[in-house]
Every structure is written in C-alpha cells, then in structure tokens.
Structure 1
Amino acid sequence: MDFTRFKTAKTQRGFTYAYYFTAASAGKPTLFFAHGFPTPAYLWRRQIAFLEPLGFGIVAPDLLGYGGTDKPTDSKAYVGSGMAQDVVDILDAEGIEKFIAIGHDWGVQVVSRLITYHSDRLLGIALLAVGYLPPMPVGVDFTAAVKDKLGYDAYAYQRFFAEPGAHLTIEKNFDSFFSLVFPLPKSATQPENIWREHMCVDGKTKAWIEGNRTTELVPYLSPEDKDYVKKTLLAGGMEGPLCWYKVFLSGEASADDTKISKEAAIISKPLLFIAFNDDPICLPEIGYEAHAAYVRPKSNLTTKAVAGDHWALLSNADEVNKELLEWIERLSV
C-alpha cells in the first residue's frame, strides 16, 4: 500500500480523517472502501492493488477511531448518521458526486447508513461477510435474537469489548487479542474452532485475552502486516475502535436510527453480497434474510459465496477480487 497516497480532510462534525485516494481514470467509477474492526484502511490493500491499476478511483479512509483519523472516546460520535455524513464530506472534498460503496465488518454499518441517508449518491453497493444492517428498533436486543436463531451466542464477545477498561486489557495483551481476532483455522495440530469456542461463549473472549494466550500467525498475514496493525492501534489506543461496539450495545445506534423512514431503509440500488462460508459469527444466512426483506427489485441483488472465514478478503483475495470486478463491470455506470 502506497502510504504517500493518503490525504486528510476535516468533516462538518469537526473530525479530521485520513484516507487513501486515487482519482478515477476517464469513464471509470470511484470505489469507496469502508473497513471494520480492528483494522484501518490497510485491510483493503489486496483489493486496492488489484482494482487501482484498472483505472478505478479509490477512496479508502481510516474510519473514526483508526490510523491517521481522529479517535474520539465518546461513543455517541460513532452513530451511523454522523459517520455517513463524514464519508460524504470526504467525497465532496474530492468533488466526487457518485460512487460505489464497498464494506466489510463494521464498515457495512457505514455503507448501510449511506444507503439510508445518501442513496442518491450511490451507483452500487458491495457488502462482504456482513449483510445489510437495517435500522435497529429501539429496545430490541439483536444479540439475543441472533442467539435464539443460531442456537449459540454468536455475539458474546461484543459484551466484553463494550466493558469499561476492555481497551486496557487488550492493549496490555495485544498479541493475544490479535491471535483471537485473526484465528488459526481448525486443523490436526490446532483442534479448536477458535471463534466458535472463544468468541461465541460468554466470558471466553475476556478469559483468552486476560490469560494472554497466543497462537502462530495466520498464513495470510505477514509479520510486517501484523506489526503495522499493532503499531497503529496501540499508537491511538483501543478505546476509540471499541466505541463501535459500545454505540451498538448501548442503544445509542438504535436511537439514531429512529430518524430513518421505512422508505429510506429500502435498498433500490444494485447490491452485491459476498458471503464467507466459514465465518461462524457473520453467518451468510443472516445477510440473505436482510437482503430478501429490503432489496427492491429483487433483480438488483447479486449473491456470491467464497470459502474462508471472516477474513476471506485477505486469505481468498483473488476470488473476492474476481467477484467484485465482474459485478462492477456489469453495472451501468
């Protein structure tokens, strides 16, 4: 990733964002990339390396709490309406009116609020691993609903991430945290399904990190990749990134969503969903259900699936890139 391509812009809310930028070639659309937890825009390096030489414009910010962007510790700063406006402010600074939005993990929350607040700016939407996140009704415990549906507590880890002081525990035992978030797959030498057994059981995420348990590095990350992510996260601290969970579990995100009308929640632009079949937390069927309920007309929806866990955009980058490119090229933009 060419770090000399990063620029900064100040948004209407007063936050300074750092973002990777390449102008589009004539006739090519701009692609906006929204990363999730716990990586900055660096997450998208394999997609950018593939798509940028083809002439596509690239806007890939370090989202709020990450990298070179501001890191407020008040969770209210992370509500969807505010972050969607921040994105539009960045694109306005570059004179980009229309764009294709691509999200992964919590980046899908940002893209989902671009849909509900700024649909007129979108040429298309691509969601990886996580499906569309419609407005969350006030008082609904989404984590409990998912537990009832799946039969296990898929979002148990989020309760630890939202605890006071969780950022200090993670910072102290960062290598343990990294081993858990980027898990080695189950194998003859590693018999556990790490996410299923330690992210999806109440108390186990905290126990793993407090116990400072570590594993070997996954094959799709180099030591240099890990060093970069570790350096940027520890430099800014983990309190900001964990606010993405706090705003969700506190009900502040739901309160913010009350501003969204039923009509605005409908997806009227072409949408690509790339499911990652081996992800035990962001299961494909949850995305399938959301898209069946909200995409209109149904012909706007394209669904693909690839092997790999939550990080298939890194481990199976060639396949993910192929699906993205084929879909983008079919769009009438």
Structure 2
Amino acid sequence: MDPANPASFNHRTELLSTGRRYHFVDQLPASYDPATTKTFVCIHGFPDFWYGWRYQIKPWVELGYRVVVPDMLGYGGTDKPEDEAEYTPRKICNDIAALMDLLQLQRAVIIGHDWGCFMVSRFALWHPNRLLSLIMQLVERVPNWGYHLFFNDKRSSAEIESKLSKFFKLIFRDKRKSDVRLENWTLTGGLARVLRSDDIQLNDTGVLTQQEFEYYLSQFDRSMHAPLNYYRTTLHRFREEQGELFGYDAILQAPRPDLPVLLIVGKNDPTSNQAALDVTRKLIPHVRIELLDGAGHWLMVERKEYVTEIVPQFVRNATAKDVQTKL
C-alpha cells in the first residue's frame, strides 16, 4: 500500500445488485475478523477517484480497520452512464448500500469528501441503520456555487477536456500561494474566465506531486462528461426528494440523533462558508466541527496526518461512549 504506487493496493471490480459495475479498493487488516472488525467506507468527490484517499488507507488498515474506497459512478474503473439522471443521490446511495451488501457489511463508518460529503449525508437519511458514524470533510450545503452553472452546461465537458492540465492545476492549486487572477474563480463566470484566458498560465501542480498530477491526468483524459453529470442532476434531485419518503424540505433533515457526526473543514476552502456551518450546527447540535487553519479543499492531502489520526480517534471515542457500535 504505497501512495506512490497505485497498483500496490488491493483492487476489485464487481457487479452490484443495482446493476452497476463498481471498481473499488478493498484493504483488509492482518487481524481481520468479519464479526468484529470495523470498516471505513470512503466516498470521494469531484474531480477525484479512489486515489484521493491514498494517504489514509494503509495507516487505517494498520490500526485494524478494513478500508473500502470505491471509484464512484462515472469515475475511474466504475461504470460511466451518459444520462445524468443515473447520478442522483438516491441511486448513488443505493449503490453504496449494495456495495456494503456485496461485502457483507451490515454497518460501517461512512466518510465523505466534497460531493461525497453530500452523498453520505443523504445515505445517513435513506439508510440510517447502515452507519456506525458519519464523517464529512468540508460542507457542500451553502458554498460559492457559481461554477456549477458552467458545469451544468454539457458543452463544458469538452472545453475542460481540451484544457485538462490547466483545469487540474487550478483545482489542486495551493491556496497559500496568492494569485489575484485566481481569486473568486468559484463565482459565476470565474472558472470559464480562467480557462479561456491565454494570459493566465498555471505551472504549479499545487498540493500534488508531479507524479500524482500526471496520474490524475491519465485517469480523466477524455472522460470528464460522466463526473460532471453530478452537477447536472439538480432537477432530478428536486423531484427525487419530493418522493414519498421525504417532503419538500428533505434537504434540511438531519441524520438520526444518536449518530456520531464529525465535520472537518479547511478554512481556506473556496467551496465552503460560515453559513453552511451555521446550518449544520442547527440541524445536528451534537456535531463535532474541526476548522483547520491554512487548509483548503484537499484535506486528505493538505492535512493528511491530521485526517489520518482524527478519524480513528473519533471512532474510538464514539465506541467508548457506547453509541451504537454493534456491527
């Protein structure tokens, strides 16, 4: 399990009961016991894939946890439907539950980042008895979403693919290195302006090493349409959450009150803000929120040691408090 060698992890590809084929990393500890070993299921966001958790997998396995990290629908080695309606939260959450069924996991610690954060929050509502605890890295409820309008236009797929290196250098840039031309790129029109400007050249691979950057490029070459479909599900999500299980205000429902919840937020993350934290505190009064100074969006890389340590610590504390830890 070497982060510099993606092939060193245990890769699997399986057909789920939902009819979708998923690729995932499934790493078992030496002391694995299906009756007692807790499992971490890690859900990535955009634009990422299982590799986003590369620095956490081995340390967590060495602590005795099973770690399962799928390529979500549309990414990596997982199926990539063309229709954006296939990427709605209910369908994605059903995929996560089906993956757990395949692995014979009744419950797990569910961890999400970026879009994964939103998906695991919905999983906590639609499959409440499948979670031991919920850990979310950054908030996606009230971010600066102007760039969503650009992504929502299907023509953006080809434009981003044609400028993929520049796009990833922007997405993974180190916020500590100031560049006024890149400020507010998340606002409406900002991303398109940066991509289309010949005067804005990005040379730094940001929080990624050159080797990691090249691996990301290889995984997303000519395959941005499916990942961007998540941003094209707004109407589908609205209709989905008007269903019989939830009402119109389902988006503001909280997970079950006894579920341990940890939220980790980088203070320099342009997609998060204080309003989102206020909503979270109101909905989940018992939530533990960790605000990280100097950290941006990519917490698993920028603060890899912290994330690696705090998640097992949080799970151990939840267990010590005797909060529903029965597998």
Deviation at 1:331, TM superposition (A): 1.8
Q: CA-to-partner distance for each residue in 1:26-61, whole Å, 9 max, x for gaps?
A: 433100000000011100111213212111111110
27-36 vs 216-225, which moves further: 216-225
Q: 1:289 aligns with which of 270, 278, 285?
A: 278
Runs (5+) with no aligned partner, structure 1? 134-145, 148-153
Cα distance in 2, alignment partners of residues 191 and 62 from structure 1: 32
Residue 224 (str. 1) matches residue 216 (str. 2): no
- Equivalent of 1:10, from 5, 9, 15? 15
Q: CA deviation at 1:267?
A: 1.4
1:109 to 118, 133, 137: 118
Q: Does residue 307 of structure 2 align to residue 320 of structure 1?
A: yes
What is the distance in 2 between the residues matched to 1:92 and 1:51? 22
- Corresponding residue number in structure 1 for 2:78: 69
Is the alpha carbon distance of 1:192 and 1:28 closer, same or farther for their aligned partners in structure 2, counting shifts above 3 Å? farther
Report the counterpart of residue 261 of structure 1 in structure 2: 246
What amino acid is aligned across from residue 261 of structure 1 in structure 2? F
Q: 1:89 — aligned with what? A: 98
User: Hey, what's the Cα distance between the residues in 1 that align with 2:164 and 2:220?
Assistant: 9
- AA paired with 2:241? D
**Residues 46-102 of structure 1: CA deviation (Å, up to 9, x unaligned):** 121321211111111000110000111211001111000101111111111110000
Q: For 1:326 and 1:67, how far apart are their aligned partners in 2?
A: 30
Structure 2 residue identity aligned to 1:32: V
Q: How does 1:229-308 map to 2 (within 5 A)?
A: 229-234=216-221, 237-248=223-234, 251-259=235-243, 260-261=245-246, 265-268=253-256, 269-283=259-273, 285-295=274-284, 298-299=285-286, 301-307=287-293, 308=295
SS in 2 for 1:69: coil
The aligned length equals 303
Q: Which amino acid aligns with 2:24?
A: Y
In the alignment, what sits opposite 1:142?
Answer: none
What TM-score do the two structures reach when normalised by structure 2?
A: 0.86
2:265 corresponds to 1:309: no
Paired residue type of 1:104: H
Taking a change above 3 Å as real, the CA distance of residues 286 and 32 of structure 1, as seen in their structure-2 partners, is farther
What is the CA-CA distance between 1:280 and the residue it aligns to? 2.3
Instruction: Name the amino acid aligned to 2:159.
Output: T
Shift of 1:253: 0.9
Aligned-residue offset at 1:23:
3.1
- Confirm or deny that 1:22 pairs with 2:27: yes
Distance 2:107 2:275 in 1: 29
2:288 is paired with a residue whose SS is strand
The amino acid that maps onto 1:9 is E
TM-score by length of 1: 0.85
Question: Which letter maps to 2:130?
Answer: R
CA distance in 1, matches of 2:203, 2:229: 28
Q: Which runs of 5+ in 2 are unaligned?
A: 320-324
Report the CA distance between 1:12 and its aligned residue. Answer: 3.1
RMSD over equivalenced CA pairs, Å: 2.1
Counterpart of 2:22, as a letter, is Y
Instruction: Read off the aligned partner of 1:191 and give its amino acid letter.
Output: D
3-state secondary structure, aligned to 1:91: helix
Aligned to 1:177: 167
Counterpart among 144, 149, 162 of residue 152 in structure 2:
162
Query: Residue 111 of structure 1: CA displacement?
Result: 0.4
